[in-house]
Chain A
Amino acid sequence: MNVLRRGLPALVAIVVGIVTLFGLLTVPPVAGTILGWATFLAAVALAMGVLNLFGVHFRRTIDGSSYSFLLLLSMLGVFGLALTDALGFTTGAVELVFFYIQAPLEAALASLLVFLLLFAGFRLLQRERTVGAVLFLLAVLFFLFTQSPLPAEVAAVVAPVRATVDNLLVAAGVRGLLLGIALGVITLSLRLLAGIERPYSS
């Protein structure tokens, strides 16, 4: 029983991973089929997530949480409008909700980020008086200054500095990060293929 419970997922993961890897290199249709399964599974997972969110907030609604009630109400409303749009009872009801409710809200929340970052940066050295904090603060100030619209005379002086910093320091840093991420992905892939890493069985 333990073998089936622990070994079977590992076996499936290893076999599928190896087949997909060699399929992408040799037989792309085979890999495409498997990736289609993965995409379908991702959609199913999204549906499962929606149902789970509904269940959680339903319980909270029963417990008396008003925010959960609003969440459930919004969810069911949008879903209902989608059904009406699908059934033809309404036209563009979902887009309307999106453009007049979701988009302004998301833009408003994103605009608040400026104020949050300003306030956090304003008190950066109040709690974290370290060299890193200072360097971080200086970097923020530099890039804000160089990316801001400047007078032409100033911009002419700042532009080369900004290009040098971007092409040397920033590009090098980002390349290092990307290479590290790639190496991490490779290592993790090998561990998954070898069954050493079993995130699906935890």
Chain B
Amino acid sequence: MMEPIRCAHCGAENPPDSKFCNRCGQAIRSHARQVCPSCTTPNSRNLLYCDNCGTRLLGDKLPKEEPEEDDSQQSRTQPFSLPARPPGQTAELDYETGLPDWLKTGDDAGHGRAAEESKREMAAEEGSAQEPDRDDSLEAEAGASAEPLPQEPPDDVSDEEIIAGSLPDWLLDDEMTESFTQSEQGADEEDSLNADEEEFDEPLPDWLQALSEGEAESTDTGTSPATSAAADAEQEPVSGDDLDDWEVMFGGTEETAGTLDWLEEMSAEEIGGASEEEAEIPHWLAEPADASEDEAEAEKLVGAETPDWPSANASHTSALEPGVEKSPTESEPHEPGEAEVERAEAEQPALADEAPASEGRDDEEAFAAWLAEATSQTAAEGGAAGAEAEAELPLWMLEDEMPPGFGEIEEDQIPDWLREMSEPTEATTAESTAEELAAEAADVPDSPTEIEGVEEPPAAEQDEVSQGEVSQGEVPEWLASAEEEAEAEAVADEDELPDWLTEVELEEEADRETEGLPEAQALPEAPEEEEPPDWLGELDENLAETAPGEAEPLATAELPDWLMEMAPPEMEADLLAPATPEDLPVGGEDSEAEMEAFFADMDGVDELPDWLDEVEAAAPPAQNEEPPAEEAGEAPEWLELDEALPDDLTLLESERARENGPEVVPHEELPAWLDDVMFELEETDEFLESEAEEVTTAEEAPAAPETSEEGRSMRIEGVPEELAGAELPVWLEESAPIETTPDEAQRAPLEEVPEWLRPPAEAEAAAEVEEAVEFEHSGEWSADFDELPPEAEAEIAAAELQEAEIPDWLRALKPRALLEEEEADVVPEETSGPLAGLRDVIGIAPVVAERRRSEMLTPTSTSETQQQQVTLLRQLVRSDATDVVVATGHPGAADRSVAGSPLLRVLLAVLLLAALLTGLFLPDLLSTAPPPAPATGEVPAAVAAAAGESVLVAFDYTPAMAGALEAPAREILEALEAGESEVLFVSQSPAGLPLATAAVAEFEALDALSLGYLPGEAVGLRRLASCLAPDAACASLTGAPLSPAAQERLAEVNLVVVVTGEREDLVNWIEQVDTFTTKPLVAAVTPAVAPVALPYYTSGQLEAFTAAPDRTTATETTLDALALGHWTVIGLLGLGNLYYLLLSLRPRRTTSAGRVRKVRGEG
């Protein structure tokens, strides 16, 4: 059952598969869900594993090596394993969910200041209520013994309880889920931070609470822990509101520079091996020493309650110091030589200069005395406990952190109590090898707790001293709450408060009251290069010889929850296993030894580790100065992977980003360790080797790059505001994956993308990007989408809309296989047809899928012009002629033409008639000859050749043409009669048949039979042609029965004679009859049809034809009449057109244009 999805817009819960909010309708952003890489089931962001298949849901955000859980996880977690855990037995590193909440609440300075005030008030109110819880947890860890340190669990507590008590809450799935859910549900910043504080403060022991408070106070006041009280008295206290988180954490202001400077100076003194012990004792140790002069019991408590984890962490820190050139796996002890000290001082020259040195010697002297007493008392309590405590000392105190010249310390320089302690320790650590110790020491994470551990004793003391004096505004909220809790605890549970803390507090107060001087002034100005005290050197040596298995449980089991949360996931995973009763620290008998070890640890930090130097280097010189761009976003970018962070935190980051201004750090400055963490942790040895290199390179690029606003909007949850935004420790930075922001990546070329985002090979990445670009620009996919039905397009558009939130640059880098999966998700699955169950099937083209409407033939449409013409025609037909008018362009001419038309017509008719009559009635007027006949062959000869045979004669002329064709027809009939041919005559014209009958009748001797009227024109002629075949026997022709004689003659026809005056008739006879028969065809045509017959004659289809009046038939009278008529017509046509031609060339007179004349009426 998947969890409902909460709408980012209105906050309403929606079903898991919802794409839009059921309340407000807003599209549910895709990042609100995370798709399972295995089954593609959408899951809520707060889920770590798929609700459907159980697959881890963070695979898409992790590098490619993520699926290889065994090897990659093992190698990745090795560097963060505690010394007790062998490599590989660590938990899986989960960057997103495994981080503690406080690391996700990346608080910016601006917003942090604004929120500190309100938070401080809330923390002050909640401090009293939370304090008893911490006491309870402390009791649970420490048991019912009077020993303040929780080093031995009670007998009645089970292993699980111990583990649960020692583990941070975020390691527990339920609680972790709840914390994520809280943060995702968009609780405001105050609530989330307070809730985180509660989780943070709950398991905090009293002494650690005091330490943390003291540390925070020291950073706030900008002075060293030892001088914080005095500084508070005289100097203007630096409010936590004016400081950035990292400043609060590491003392980035000028005043806080004294803190680090104090450490350096202290280390320098120790390294330098000053002969005078009191002068070499740090001032922060001197004050407790002074305070313990009166009460020696307090020192024991201090040593008993001091955990070993600072030493362990410090040892690891020393192993991973950037300045250390050798590999942590090497057994050679690390000797922080002068180079490191010089480098640290060179990075913090101003801080070193500003360190108060005038008034520190008094404190050192007092502390030296106190320390001497404490050590003597510790030695008196027994060497066994001291041996165990020494076994828990960190390795760096044994070998790695052996300061130069440490072995050269003379015996007189070593305090007695240290000398005593060193003897049994050396005996117990003889079995261990230096290689194992160094390797295990390297696994200790460089957590921020180291910082606290280093500063804890003075911080605790300072905190206790100045607790009541530091104003509320000067202390961060979380410290304020802690302070109040401490106060409440001190008042309510006086017995439970460690004595040493109480006494130290009292001592501090007394000292401050008596001296009235700032602690900063009392800070001794120690020489830079001084050897550590002898007792510290011995401690280091003894601890270096301690077996790793003995020291690890102390370092792990004693960690409180809030420190466990700060530890990397791998480290915490390791803490799960060793948290057994056997691994827990020994009883309170070792408390003194542990206390000494703690102080030794404190002193053993003879020089600042490189990571602390980096912190100092990152700290701005002044509190009012804006931090550098690299420091503004101390939280790495990989924290942005958590998309479920509340929006208010994003706003915090954006606020901070605005205050810090634009920050652009080129990718070239990206530290290599960030890349290596993601990809190069497969092998332990290689990692250990690379660790030193990475630390070395980290010096060059101390801060994670933050270039864009989004990149700067890092979110860290659960961290106190003082710590929020502070620069992450090395181990967190190393464990943090890098993710460039979209804007940054868009601006930066591909080569600037971090390596873990890149595919394995650069060329392959470029190839994939090119393929993706080509595929997008090819347009093939878009063409396919265009052909899809609208429904499919809508689905695809919706899917694309959800996926559009992925930046293009990141999508381009996405493996092609995943892209195909997305495409498979987008393209719906075929549910029917033979392709059912398949995806990405080419859709049916709309042309095919859509129903085709039958195109009906539209009725005949007429244009407007046609309609006008029809209308005009109707008017011409129906209306009277006088109503029709036409426009003439020349009115005068029209008038004359219309007026003269009847006269002209009459004149022309008269002239023509006169010519004809003249030729008829005046013979021999002209000595003319018949016109020459064209070369048409000899029709009479063809007819003569058919004598005695059957001849078919077609009389296809009407009475209108009878005047021109009767003469040739008679000549042909006369020849047929002369040749005694059997004649069959037929006509295609109803009027031609009587003419034929009449013509045939004139020749009595002619044997002729009529076939009648032949209808059908070409068809009729074709049927007649079928009957002309030799073997054809047509009993009927066109439906009319044929007589037997007619059938016999029709079958024996040897000549076809066509007399016609129509072109079509001649053509039909030639094409339909002559083509299908071999009978000769001759024609007698009018002169108008003669040009049509000529081509057929020349081609042989026509045997012969005649067109001119036959010379034999024409008489002299007709010739003269015909000649006169032709000439008259020719003359009239020529004269008339010449007249009009000349008339048109004459210049026209201007007349009124457009006059309408009645034409037909006048005609």
On A, residues with C-beta under 8 Å from B are: 2, 6, 28, 32, 35-36, 38-40, 42-43, 46, 95, 98-99, 102-107, 109-111, 114-115, 117-119, 121-126, 129, 137, 140-141, 144-152, 155, 158-159, 162-163, 166-167, 170-171, 173-175, 178, 202
Assess whether A174 is in contact with B994, with CB atoms less than 8 Å apart.
no
Residues of A near B997 (CB, < 8 A) are 95
Identify the closest chain B residue to A94 (Cβ): B994
The 9 closest A-B pairs by CB, nearest first: A148-B1126, A122-B1136, A103-B959, A159-B932, A149-B928, A110-B960, A126-B1140, A149-B1123, A39-B1016
Q: Does B1137 contact A (CB under 8 A)?
A: yes
Interface pair B1016/A137, CB less than 8 Å apart: no
List residues of B (992-1027) whose CB comes within 8 Å of A's CBs.
994-995, 997-998, 1015-1017, 1019-1020, 1022-1023, 1026
CB distance B1133 to A118 under 8 Å? yes
Chain B nearest CB from A186 CB (Å) reads: 13
Minimum distance in angstroms from A180 CB to a CB of chain B = 13
Cβ of B521 to closest chain A Cβ, rounded Å = 114
Convert B487-516 into 0s and 1s, putting 1 for each residue whose CB lies closer than 8 angstroms to a CB of A. Answer: 000000000000000000000000000000
Contact A118 B1094 (CB under 8 A): no
How far apart are the CA atoms of A148 and B1126 in the complex, in Å? Answer: 6
B interface secondary structure, majority: helix
A146 CA to B929 CA in the complex, in Å? 12
Pick the residue among B962, B1023, B1122 that contacts A39 (CB under 8 A): B1023
Chain A residues near B1016 (CB, 8 Å)? 35, 38-39, 42-43
- Shortest distance in angstroms between B687's beta carbon and chain A's nearest beta carbon? 85
Q: Out of B1119, B1127, B1132, name the residue touching A122 (CB < 8 Å).
A: B1132
Question: Is B932's CB under 8 angstroms from A121's CB?
Answer: no
Provide the bound-state CA to CA distance between A103 and B1129, in Å: 26
Asked if B777 is an interface residue, CB under 8 A from chain A, the answer is no
Please give me the residue from chain B that is nearest to A202 by CB atom.
Answer: B860
In the assembled complex, 14 residue pairs joining A and B whose CB atoms fall closer than 8 Å, in A order, are: A42-B1017, A107-B963, A118-B1132, A123-B1137, A125-B1144, A129-B1144, A144-B1129, A145-B1126, A149-B930, A149-B931, A152-B927, A155-B928, A163-B932, A171-B1094
Which chain B residues border A117 with CB–CB below 8 Å? 1129
Of the residues A105, A146, A175, contact of B931 by C-beta under 8 Å: A146
When distances are taken between beta carbons in the complex, the residues of chain A under 8 Å from B962 are: 103, 106-107
> Cβ of B998 and Cβ of A99 under 8 Å apart?
yes
CB distance from B24 to the nearest CB of A (A): 55
- Cα(A94)–Cα(B1125), bound, Å: 35
Check if A40 sits within 8 Å of B932, measured CB to CB: no
Report yes or no: B1140 in contact with A125, Cβ–Cβ below 8 A.
yes
Known: A166-B1094, A202-B860. A110 touches B963 (CB 8 A): yes
Contact A104 B1129 (CB under 8 A): no
Minimum distance in angstroms from B440 CB to a CB of chain A = 96
* Residue in B926, B1133, B1140 whose CB lies within 8 Å of A151: B926
B1019 and A42 form a contact (CB under 8 A): yes
B residues within 8 A CB of A126? 893, 897, 1137, 1140, 1143-1144
With contacts A38-B1019, A124-B1140, A171-B1094 known, what are 19 further pairs, Cβ within 8 A? A2-B856, A28-B1026, A98-B994, A102-B959, A104-B959, A114-B1125, A119-B904, A121-B1136, A125-B1140, A144-B1130, A148-B1127, A149-B1122, A152-B927, A155-B931, A158-B932, A166-B1091, A167-B1094, A175-B1095, A178-B1092
Are B1095 and A171 interface neighbours, CB within 8 A? yes
Please determine whether B1020 and A39 come into contact, CB atoms closer than 8 angstroms: yes
- Contact (Cβ within 8 A) B1126 A144: yes
> In the complex, are the beta carbons of A137 and B1137 less than 8 A apart?
yes
Q: Are A178 and B926 in contact (CB under 8 A)?
A: no
Contacts of B856 in A (CB 8 A): 2
Taking a contact as CB atoms under 8 Å apart, the answer to whether B1137 and A148 are in contact is: no
Q: Which residue of the partner chain, among A115, A125, A152, contacts B929 with CB atoms under 8 Å?
A: A152
CB-based contact A99/B932 at 8 Å: no
**If the complex has contacts A98-B991, A126-B1140, are A147 and B1087 also in contact, measured as CB distance less than 8 A?**
yes
- Chain A hits for B1094, CB < 8 A: 166-167, 170-171, 174
Separation in Å of the B38 CB from the closest CB of chain A?
A: 60
Bound CA–CA A167/B1098 (angstroms): 9
Contacts of B934 in A (CB 8 A): 162-163, 166-167
Q: Is residue B909 within 8 Å, beta carbon to beta carbon, of the partner chain? A: yes
Bound complex: CA of A91 vs CA of B929, how far in Å?
44
Q: Which residues of A have CB within 8 Å of B908?
A: 115, 118-119, 122
Cβ-defined contact, B1144 with A107, below 8 A:
no
Q: Does B1140 lie within 8 Å of A123, measured CB to CB?
A: yes
Chain A residue, CB-CB nearest to B1067: A178
Chain A contacts for B960, CB-based, 8 A: 106-107, 109-110
Can you name the residue of chain B whose Cβ is closest to the Cβ of A45?
B1015
**What 1/0 mask marks residues of chain B from 229 to 251 whose CB sits below 8 Å from any chain A CB?**
00000000000000000000000
CA distance A119 to B912 in the complex (A): 11
A residues in contact with B1087, CB < 8 Å: 147
B931 close to A163 (CB less than 8 A): no
Which residues of chain B in 464-483 are interfacial with respect to chain A, using CB atoms and an 8 Å cutoff?
A: none
How near does chain B come to A154, taking the closest CB pair, in angstroms? 9
B779 located at the interface, meaning its Cβ lies under 8 Å from any Cβ of chain A in the complex: no
962-1005 of chain B: CB within 8 A of chain A = 962-963, 991, 994-995, 997-998
- Among B931, B934, B1038, B1119, residue most surrounded by chain A Cβ atoms (within 10 Å): B931
Contact partners of A175 in chain B: CB under 8 A: 1095
Interface: B834 (CB within 8 A): no
- Bound complex: CA of A140 vs CA of B1133, how far in Å? 9
- Residues of chain B in range 901-954 having any CB-CB distance to chain A below 8 Å: 904-905, 908-909, 912, 926-932, 934-935
Interface residue from A95, A107, A147 paired with B1108 (Cβ < 8 Å):
A147
Q: How far is the CA of A35 from the CA of B1020 in the complex (A)?
A: 8
Contact A106-B958, Cβ < 8 Å, known A115-B908, A149-B1123: yes
A144 to B1090, CA, bound (A): 14
Known A-B contacts A150-B1123, A171-B1094; the reply to A46 vs B1015 at CB < 8 A is: yes
Q: Which residues of B contact A35 (CB under 8 A)?
A: 1016, 1019, 1022-1023
Is B1103's CB within 8 Å of the partner chain A?
no
Chain B's closest residue to A114 (CB) is B912
Query: Which residue of chain A lies nearest to B994 when distances are taken between CB atoms in the complex?
Result: A98
CB-based contact A39/B931 at 8 Å: no
B935 touches A123 (CB 8 A): no
Determine the chain A residues whose CB is within 8 A of the CB of B1092 once the complex forms.
Answer: 174, 178
In the complex, A171→B893 CA distance in Å? 40
Chain A residues whose CB sits within 8 angstroms of the CB of B963 once the complex forms:
107, 110-111
Q: Is B195 an interface residue (CB 8 A)?
A: no
Determine the residue in chain A with the shortest Cβ distance to B1098. A171
| Interfacial chain B residues near A158, Cβ < 8 Å | 932
Interface centre among A106, A122, A125, A149 (most CB of B within 10 A): A149
In the complex the two chains form, is A148's CB within 8 Å of B897's CB? no
Give min CB distance, A70 to chain B, whole Å.
19
B1066-1108: which residues lie under 8 A (CB-CB) from chain A?
A: 1067, 1087, 1090-1092, 1094-1095, 1098, 1108
Residues in A with CB closer than 8 Å to B1133 are 118, 121-122, 124, 137, 140-141, 144
Contacts of B926 in A (CB 8 A): 149, 151
Q: Are A115 and B1098 in contact (CB under 8 A)?
A: no
A173 to B1091, CA, bound (A): 9
